[in-house]
Amino acid sequence: FPPGNPAEKAGSGGVEQPTEAEREAVLLLSASRGVGVLEMPAGRAKAKGGKGRSKVGAKKPIAKRRKANVGKKKQREVEDEGWDAEAGKELAARLGSDDDILRHVRKIKEKLRLDDAKPKTLSSLNLAAKFREVVDKDTRSVLTEIERVILDAAASILEGDGLGFHVPSRGASNQHYVQELDRIVLKDSKTQRSFGNRAEVRKVAIMSRLMQLVYELCSKDITATKRDLFYSDVKLFKKQDESDAALEDVTCMLGCTRCSLHVVASEKGLVVGRLRYREAGDLIDCTRMGVGGKAIPSNIQKCTDFESDAEFILLVEKDAAFQRLAEDRFYNRFPCIIITGKGQPDVATRQFLRKMHQDLKLQVLALVDADPYGLNIISVYTRGSKNMSFDSSNLTTPGIKWLGVRPSDLDRFKLPNQCRLDMTEHDKRLGEKLLKEDFMKANPEWSKELQIMLDTGEKAEIQALSSFGFQYLTEVYLPLKLQEKDWI
């Protein structure tokens, strides 16, 4: 409480109710000192006839939740005083044999392999609206398309309309979620980008320069990274974000994938486990890649002949968890393929996951942090990103299941309070935003988990499970999840 006598500050007569923040502060202070909850005064004096502080009123439901959360935190803090590493291992007693643990994923694997149904596409749905999707094109087709665009621009100049391009609109209003496909697509709407418009002159210049560079790459049949393109004309591009955004506009305008332009990104993702394939003719065995795993190549078109005896694919958000799984050889005890995009995934990792899922017909289970960012990363893999919705048919992997770490796991696995983190305001804004997305509304189980997170105001990382032991993730948590078919 503030120093001084409340009665002297507020006057005599009447009662002023303490604020909710003051109640929370007292509860937390009491819990941290290991004493009982302090009795709050009934109120504070206020000036006679004065209005005093406004009561909680309309915010009562929120206040009740906050008070309940404070109480739960206090209770867990008291429990943490006598907590030790053995407390979380009681669930290990439920584990059966390895065959029992794998029986559910084996059934799903068999079901997927017997399913001969063709995947749904935008064209097969016969939707009324028109959408724009890019496809893989050979080098000759890309060159022809660039020549067509430049000839149209030249004709526009000769007609007196000036230099300009008809660029597909990639704004938020032009994005559409197709529930039948469970992914985001781009509506077929274009805007005129004119060199004569002061606000668009740099964008037109950058697009023109990029098409010149891409034409050179395709003509010489060589490949360059996005970073290479940026350094080809730093003074024009200024920032790589600008050249990257313009490259996506060029890709969408030409109607082809980025790989078709002979442009790739630097390697980022990793894969390890029960997988063998050929990369540019060389045989790659991912069981012999040590604890670091195999870097996913930038050009997935060079990856062919996928073979595996795995029962499922484990998609991991972070490199730290990936290294733990690889070092413990989790894929040998429970045959699987482990892949990570090290956070927000790049295009190559998303393409590689999709290709494995299609060729091997294995269920993909996701292991991410219990926070809004983890859930958002799963949605990028399975439903696509709005930024590249025009290429969602080539980048998304349908049917990914959320294995963990889920908000409901925090209490179920008795994660100690010291390993839980408070959600930031940015976390909460992202969580609220995700709840309003169409794909979340179509999946009530995901929405329920996200609502638990927002109500408790808590989040946790995968590494928080290490509080029970460094190998708890591989020896107890994941096996129990698999055995109980605990995914959504």
Distance CA 471, CA 324 (A): 8
Q: How many CA atoms lie within 13 A of 124 on its CB side?
A: 7
Give the integer Cα–Cα distance in Å for 370 and 372: 7
The first and second tokens of residue 330, run together, are 């989790």
359 neighbors 401 (Cβ within 8 angstroms): no
Q: 360 CB contacts (<8 Å, ≥6 apart)?
A: 306, 308, 310, 313, 337
Determine the Cα angle at 62 with ends 61 and 66, to 5°.
120
Contact 225, 265 (CB under 8 A): yes
d(CA 143, CA 145) in angstroms, rounded, equals 5
Cα separation of the two ends of the chain: 46
> Of 215, 231, 331, 373, which one is the catalytic site residue?
231
Angle between helices 347-360 and 372-383 (to 10 degrees): 60
- Which burial class, exposed, middle or buried, applies to 342 when counting CB atoms under 10 A from its CB (0-12, 13-18, 19+)? middle
DSSP-assigned beta bridge partners for residue 4: none
Query: 472 an active-site residue?
Result: no
Question: Dihedrals φ, ψ of 107, to 5°?
Answer: -65, -40
Element (H, E) at 167: strand 164-168
243 in Cβ contact with 230 (< 8 Å): yes
Q: What are the residue ranges of helices labelled H in 97-200? A: 98-114, 122-125, 139-158
Sheet with 303-307: strands ordered across: 282-285, 276-279, 303-307
Annotated catalytic sites, by residue? Answer: 231
